[in-house]
Homo-oligomer: A and B are copies of this chain.
Amino acid sequence: MKNISDIFNYMVNHNNDNLNYIFHALADSTRREMVHMMAQKERTVSELAEPFDMSLAGISKHIKVLERANLVERSVNGRTHICHLNTESLSQATEWLRFYEKFWSNRFDLLESELMKAKKKEH
């Protein structure tokens, strides 16, 4: 890490990896369901496992994927681990999506106003 441009590159790449992890984590119904559960209240690993027909080892892996994406944080309390959402990562993904949504709808607005102009000229 030598100069400002290295730092910039680090930031961009870091952000990119983050988005890769976040979107990847959310691309799975089981994990989205887990997010849904944690949105209501924090959950232990076994609570998270309960609705699914899956081994605890499998569940453990899913949680790890959510953690890698920074979507979930864990506090160890004795032998039980308590998982809770970290919405900062959710916002990061929303920001990305919202940006392109807006970008695109602006294009439509532009198109519409161009059509209006064209229509006016006709008369």
A contact set with B: CB distance below 8 Å: 16, 19-24, 26-29, 32, 35-36, 39-40, 85, 87, 90-91, 93-94, 96-98, 100-101, 103-105, 107
A21, A85, A96, A100 — most chain B CB neighbours (10 Å): A100
Determine the main DSSP class of A at the interface with B. helix
Give A109 Cβ to nearest chain B Cβ, in Å: 13
Contact B23 A27 (CB under 8 A): yes
Hey, which chain B residues are within 8 Å of A107, CB to CB?
A: 39
B16 touches A20 (CB 8 A): no
> How many copies of the chain does the oligomer comprise?
2
A-B CB contact pairs (8 Å), 23 listed? A20-B27, A20-B28, A23-B23, A23-B24, A26-B96, A26-B97, A27-B27, A35-B100, A36-B100, A39-B100, A39-B103, A87-B100, A87-B104, A87-B105, A90-B97, A90-B100, A93-B93, A93-B97, A94-B94, A94-B97, A94-B98, A94-B101, A97-B97
Chain B residue numbers with a CB within 8 Å of A28 are 20
What separation, in Å, do the CA atoms of A85 and B100 have in the docked complex? Answer: 10
Residue on B nearest A87 in the bound complex, by CB: B104
Q: For the complex formed, measure the closest distance between the CB of A106 and the CB atoms of chain B, giving whole angstroms.
A: 9
